[in-house]
Structure 1
């Protein structure tokens, strides 16, 4: 059904998108996600270009302390000495920012991307949302729910045409 659709990303996208930056505190990002009932939030640079996504999955994988690999490096860095508490505190504060856990492999599309291509991207890349970018800046976001709404609208129109 969507392969016959004339809808594009621009037709389907949400235009008012909540975003965060890599240096946003995780607590702030989580609060925004909860307040807006969203499962993922684009991470944009200063120019408004998406550089990553922060998702519920990222939050579930995050445990708030050093990873095993980070702990190994810190142990070798100290080499028998205690690391300064202020140094460890600074490292921990960095791990409490969006940049510490965001998914950097962000897929984005142009406003002209057809609905069928969006569906293919969601399925093949196992993603739930894509930022829509024009001239190096995010102008919207299309989610799987947006595609479902478009499909429902097309099915309703098809049923109405059959009854006529």
Structure 2
């Protein structure tokens, strides 16, 4: 979710392995046009422009991609990288971080994650991403899905939850 630097890596991977299917969801059509010029998009890679929608969760305004399930259908994903949509909204008073951001992942649990999976999110140093993943862990627990987690800290933090067979990623 989100088209960016990670997409450079994932598109190269998908280009190398014919049995890989890569789905990228992005909310900015101009960014899709500009950024995808630098990508080798083959038949097993799709980049979908997603409309954004505002919604309310726990009495707070949030933003998510609209109709994600219409795009992903019943597809099972073993890797989900989340760096979109944006974790803020802007108004006349400036930029405001969301209390819950990048929440589309909630819609994908449990039906759209593979038995063996990694779910990663960027910007985990922000409160909205932390709150979103608190709910991710609740959903995994509610569905009796065993998982492990890891936080990679740098200028920005990344966070991952993953199944047993991917525990090695916490050694990075």
Give me the TM-score of the superposition, normalised by structure 2. Answer: 0.24
Q: Which has the higher contact order (CA 8 A, sep 6+)?
A: 1
Q: TM-score, normalised by structure 1?
A: 0.25
Larger radius of gyration: 1
